[in-house]
């Protein structure tokens, strides 16, 4: 929809819609991994609430960005794409998303490592490859 | 009345991925008794919106 939009305000709306879904997606993937790896152990009602709160915060922060500009201070348009200038809220949400996805990665690899001894070396190699500076 | 949208071939990859994600969420809903199926359904529904937005 952002590609098909003609004017900048419409492109910005779709950019914000996409951004608003990123943290909830990261949380949902983490919930899926926790529930799939150990059904009923980690994804308790309390943990689900604690995980969902940053997702709600992200959606509220992004949808009300015009009031406080905590997520993006400004938008520019170059070569057909929007170039946002990140604010402190965006950096926090980015760090949170990478944090929960990193945790999910560790859970998956930890699960594979302990439950499939024959796959330990492939797991170690994949972990090394998925490290941020790899 | 003028439209705010115009046709571009760039929309097709996101549309195809959106259809794929919707199909995956329907598949998960039909097997919702399996551990992890509901979070995966939520993730794929959100991914549908994420795919269709750009």
Q: CB A18 to CB B4 under 8 A?
A: no
Interface test with B, best of A28, A36, A101 (most B CBs within 10 A): A28
3-state secondary structure (DSSP) of residue A39: coil
pLDDT, residue A134, reads: 45
Q: For B38-52, write each residue's pLDDT tens digit.
A: 999 999 999 999 988
Identify all chain A residues contacting B33, using CB atoms and an 8 Å cutoff: none
ipTM of the complex: 0.84
Cα–Cα separations (whole angstroms), residue A89 to A61, A62, A100, B43? 7, 9, 17, 22
Domain ranges of chain A: 8-129
pLDDT, residue A3, reads: 76
pLDDT, residue A130, reads: 66
Question: Which residue numbers in chain A have pLDDT < 70?
Answer: 130-134
pLDDT, residue A59, reads: 92
Q: CB B36 to CB A29 under 8 A?
A: no
Q: For B28-39, write each residue's pLDDT tens digit.
A: 999 999 988 999
- Residues of chain B that touch chain A, judged by Cβ-Cβ distance less than 8 Å: 3-8, 10-11, 14, 35-36, 39-40, 42-43, 46-47, 49-50, 52-54
């Amino acid at each position: 929809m952002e590609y098909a939009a003609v004017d900048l305000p419409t492109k910005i709306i779709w950019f914000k819609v996409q951004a608003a879904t990123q943290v909830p997606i990261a949380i949902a993937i983490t919930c899926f991994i926790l529930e799939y790896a150990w059904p009923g152990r980690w994804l308790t009602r309390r943990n689900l609430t604690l995980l969902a709160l940053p997702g709600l915060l992200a959606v509220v922060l992004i949808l009300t960005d015009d009031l406080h500009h905590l997520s993006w201070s400004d938008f520019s348009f170059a070569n057909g794409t929007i170039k946002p200038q990140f604010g402190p809220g965006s950096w926090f949400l980015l760090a949170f998303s990478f944090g929960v996805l990193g945790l999910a990665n560790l859970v998956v690899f930890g699960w594979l490592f302990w439950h499939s001894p024959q796959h330990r070396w492939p797991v170690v190699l994949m972990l090394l490859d998925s490290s941020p500076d790899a | 009345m003028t439209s705010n949208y115009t046709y571009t071939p760039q929309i097709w990859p996101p549309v195809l991925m959106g259809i794929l994600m919707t199909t995956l969420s329907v598949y998960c809903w039909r097997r919702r008794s399996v551990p992890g199926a509901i979070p995966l359904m939520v993730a794929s529904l959100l991914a549908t919106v994420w795919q269709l937005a750009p």
